[in-house]
Structure 1
Amino acid sequence: MYYYRYENAEVSCCYKYLMFSYNIIFWLAGAAFIAIGFWAWSEKGVLLDLTQVTRLHGFDPVWLVLVVGGVTFTLGFAGCVGALRENICLLKFVRLIWFSD
């Protein structure tokens, strides 16, 4: 199978690395949210005894922090890889999730 490679980049180098730096901030923020979520669980003692997860009655706000962190981490990573590799599929995925109308 033959793949066509462009001689020069389709996107300007400045815009490419600006988009990468913007997405790496979200990637690191997602990692921070995940770390904060696991820290909060360890403070509650849930990480030592996982049966406490089923004993919690109602909604635990740590779940929200972990879900937001996971989504942000995934989208930040996809944006970083998409910006560096100029992968249109990954960039459209990030745009679809962040800017859905």
Structure 2
Amino acid sequence: MCCSGFLKIMMFIFNGAIFLAGAAILGVGVWVKVDSGSLLGVLDQIDDAPDELAQLTNIGYLLIGVGAVLLVIGFLGCCGAIRESRCMLLTFFCIVLIIFIAEVAGAVVLFVFQDLANELIEKVEVQVVRSIREKYGEDESLTNVWNHTMEELRCCGFKNYTDFDSSPYQIDNGNVYPPICCDQSDGPCSETLAAEFMGSIPGCFTKLVQLLEENAVIVAAVALGIAFVEIAAMVVSMILYCKIGNKS
């Protein structure tokens, strides 16, 4: 009896963590879809983008789906423990096992296909820079997205200020660059001044990579924590499943 009570408490703890993780991921997914000025908005403005790149625009829906599934998993685990339902516990175990296998497979694919990722980045660079030079300063939607992105990340262009060469903005404003490229909110930004600030105002892709690298330890810790919770939850659910079976 004491052992069963301990197992139930452990199920509540593990599934509470899964439920909270699902709520957090769901919230991030909703934010990504609602925030039209996010960096992902740039992808919507690229013509003839690679199919792999186009799929990134659906990341918000993916996060919403994953968050919803985790919420259901947390609910199944808690209810299965409270009601001592073998069916719910078995369903919980199967779903978590499938997700765990998918996570491992995804990690292996990312590791094996790093070269393909580099090729995709090169394609993205060409497409993004072309869209800037053809539309920035003329297409209001694309211009607003880039302005918002550069202000939020404190960056200039995809690679650097030269991405704006021959753009409608530069042509219409006397061969100048966006003010952010010279670390200012307004006023002309000449090529000489933009070159001086290139070290302190990097390209947006470089800045994004820097942010990811700075938070890599946190991301890895969170991933390992989720994997531990999933494994522990599966073990506890199976032990509780067997004990309930022995009682009956």
Give the alignment's TM-score, normalised by structure 1.
0.70
Q: Rg bigger for which structure? A: 2
Q: Give 1:86's aligned amino acid.
A: E
Gapped runs of 5+ residues in structure 2?
38-48, 102-248
The 5 Å alignment of 1:84-95 reads 84-95=82-93
Counterpart Cα distance in 2 of 1:85 and 1:24: 16
Q: Is the 8 A contact 1:20 1:84 kept in 2?
A: no
The alpha carbon displacement at 1:96 in A equals 1.2
2:23 is equivalent to residue 25 of structure 1 = no
Work out the CA distance in 1 between the residues paired with 2:71 and 2:31: 17
Query: Could you list the per-position Cα deviations for residues 6-39 of structure 1 after superposition, in whole angstroms to 9, with x for gaps in the alignment?
Result: xxx5x61111111111111101111111111111
Percent sequence identity is: 35
CA drift at 1:83: 1.2
Offset from partner CA, 1:45-94 (integer Å, 9 cap, x none): 7xxxxxxxxxxx83211111111111111111111111122111111001
* 8 A Cα contact 1:78 1:90, kept in partner: yes
Structure 1, unaligned stretches of length 5 or more?
Answer: 1-8, 46-56
Q: Secondary structure at the match of 1:96?
A: helix
Q: Distance in 2 between matches of 1:33 and 1:92?
A: 24
SS of 1:44's equivalent in the other structure is coil
Higher relative contact order (CA 8 A, sep 6+): 1
**Residue 12 of structure 2 is aligned to residue 14 of structure 1:** no
In 1, the alpha carbon distance for the partners of 2:94 and 2:72 equals 13
| Matched ranges for 1:76-91 at <5 A | 76-91=74-89
Q: With the length of structure 2 as denominator, give the TM-score of the two structures.
A: 0.30
Q: Is the 8 A contact 1:20 1:80 kept in 2?
A: yes
The amino acid that maps onto 1:42 is V
Q: Match of 1:74?
A: 72
Counterpart amino acid of residue 70 in structure 1: A
Would you identify which runs of 4 or more consecutive aligned residues in structure 1 move more than 2 Å? none
